[in-house]
Amino acid sequence: DQQVKQNSPSLSVQEGRISILNCDYTNSMFDYFLWYKKYPAEGPTFLISISSIKDKNEDGRFTVFLNKSAKHLSLHIVPSQPGDSAVYFCAASTIIQGAQKLVFGQGTRLTINP
Amino acid sequence: AAGVIQSPRHLIKEKRETATLKCYPIPRHDTVYWYQQGPGQDPQFLISFYEKMQSDKGSIPDRFSAQQFSDYHSELNMSSLELGDSALYFCASKEGSLSYNEQFFGPGTRLTVL
């Protein structure tokens, strides 16, 4: 039962254009969402997060949008740069019995073409 | 800035052997998480510790055990290794079990079981 889904395993975008990565979740208990970026042979690196009380959070070139009614979030990267090429994981979080549970999506491999 | 340290980075074991993976969290982080990422899969939560006590348990096999020590480092002990245990094992740390702070990931230990 995949509670967090990233339906696009890969995405290819031209340098300078906008990259949009999508994520859907099924569990309405999730109330905090995060995006991680992962390079080969490295651990996931935190990018940006959003609480369920917000619908948008922006940090430089990265913006995360949350649509609670649709249980959907997206990460926008603009402008895209070659160094953004990596695997992006969406993660959803809730606190149950005193512990934060983090559930990851399957990841989307983003390739930025020069 | 100090990051999460994992050792060893690579480990090769035979079937039915045991392995111990170590994780040193970021200073002042009191919560440690262990994840397993198989080839082409998303990280799967195994187990977490807060203030040296197990705070949550995920899909961790009975053959595995873990603990967090007084200096907050954690060790994942894996016995009777199987071929299917070959994966990347990530440790993540954060400050506070109940907070929604992001988890910071280590570089991972790549375990290969032959």
Q: How far apart are the first and last CA of chain B?
A: 36
pLDDT, position B99: 66
- d(C-alpha B99, C-alpha B59), whole Å: 23
CATH classification at residue B53: 2.60.40.10
Domain that holds residue A73: 4-113
Count structural domains, chain A.
1
Distance in Å, alpha carbon of B111 to nearest chain A alpha carbon = 13
Could you read off the pLDDT of B34-88 as tens digits, one per residue? 999 998 888 999 999 988 888 888 889 999 999 999 999 999 999 999 999 999 9
pLDDT, position B88: 95
Which pLDDT band, with edges at 50, 70 and 90, does B1 fall under?
low
Sign of CA dihedral B77, B41, A99, B29: positive
Count structural domains, chain B.
1
CATH classification at residue A72: 2.60.40.10
pLDDT, position B2: 77
Contact A5, A72 (CB under 8 A): no
Residues 6-35 of A with CB under 8 A from B: 32, 34
Domain that holds residue B65: 5-113
Contact residues on chain A for B97, CB-CB shorter than 8 A: 98-100
| Strand stretches in chain A, DSSP E | 4-5, 10-14, 19-25, 32-38, 45-51, 56-59, 62-67, 72-77, 86-96, 99-104, 108-113
Could you read off the pLDDT of A15-41 as tens digits, one per residue? 999 999 999 999 998 989 999 999 987
Distance in Å, alpha carbon of B81 to nearest chain A alpha carbon = 23
